[in-house]
Chain A
Amino acid sequence: MSKPLNDPLLTTGKVVLQIAAAGIAITIAVAFYGFVALFTDPEGNLARIFAKAPPEAWWWLFGISLLDTLVLGLCLLFVFQLVQIVDSVGDGDPFVPQNAGRLDRMAWLALAMQAVSLAKLPLAALLEPHLKDFPLGIDFSLWGIVLALTLFILARVFRKGAEMKADLEGTV
Chain B
Amino acid sequence: MKGYTAALPSGEAIHYVDRKRWLWLLSVTYPLQPFVAIWLHWLTGNETWLLLPIAINYGLGPAVDWALGEDRNNPPEEVALQLDQDRYYRWLTYSAVPLHYVTLIGSAWYVGTQNLSLFGMLSLAIVAGMTAGLAINTGHELGHKNSRIEKLLAKIVLAVPAYGHFTIDHNRGHHRNVATPGDPASARMGESIYRFALREIPGAFFEAWAIETERLTRRDRPAWHPNNQILQSFALTAVIALGLIVAFGWIMIPLLLIHHVMAWWQLTSANYVEHYGLLRQTDAHGKVERCEPHHSWNSNHIFSNLVLFHLERHSDHHAHPLRRYQSLRHFDSAPQLPNGYFGVYLLAYVPWLWYRVMDKRLLALPHIQGNLDKINVDPDARAAIFLRYGRDKMVAPTLG
Specify whether A and B are partners: no
What residues make up the interface of A, taking CB atoms closer than 8 Å to B?
A: none
What residues make up the interface of B, taking CB atoms closer than 8 Å to A?
A: none
